[in-house]
Amino acid sequence: MQRYLIPLFGLILSSEIASARPTGEENTAATKLFAQMLLGTFDSSSQSIDDSEYLDVTVHHCSVQVSGLPEELREGEFLALRQSVSTAANPYRVRVLRVFQGESDSNVRVSSFAPQQGVNLAQLCSLPESDRTVDFSQLTGEKCTTSATLIGAEFVGGTTGEGCPSNRAGSVRMTSELTLSSNKMTTWDRGWTADGKLAWGPEKGPYQFEKVQAQDPRIAQFAAFFSGRFSNAEQVEKDPKNFTPVEYRFCQIDVGGAPVRPDIRLMFAEQRVSVPGRVIERRRIYEFFRDENSALRVRTNPFNESDIPAGVCDLSLAERRSLPASILNERDTCVLTFDWNEGSESFEGGTPAEGCPSQFQGAVKLTIEEVIKDGLIQPWERWFNAAGEQVAGSKAGPYIYKRK
Residue 24 has a pLDDT of 42
More confident residue, 53 or 17: 53
pLDDT of 32 higher than 50: yes
For 74-108, the pLDDT digits (tens) are: 999 999 999 999 999 999 999 999 999 998 999 99
Please state the domain extents for the chain: 25-212, 217-403
Separation CA 21–CA 238 (nearest Å):
69
170: closest CA among 153, 152, 195? 195
Tell me the mean pLDDT in the region 48-73.
95
Phi and psi torsions of 80, nearest 5°: -95, 140
Residue 4 has a pLDDT of 60
Residue 265 has a pLDDT of 94
Separation CA 393–CA 243 (nearest Å):
10
Sign of CA dihedral 294, 297, 302, 307: positive
Question: What CATH number belongs to 25-212?
Answer: 2.40.128.590
Separation CA 176–CA 170 (nearest Å):
17
Count CB neighbours of 169 within 10 A. Answer: 11
Whether 217-403 and 25-212 are alike in CATH topology: the answer is yes
For 375-397, the pLDDT digits (tens) are: 999 999 999 999 999 999 999 99
For 259-314, the pLDDT digits (tens) are: 788 889 999 999 999 999 999 999 999 999 999 999 999 998 877 777 888 899 99
Give the architecture (CATH level 2) of 217-403.
Answer: Beta Barrel (2.40)
pTM exceeding 0.75: yes
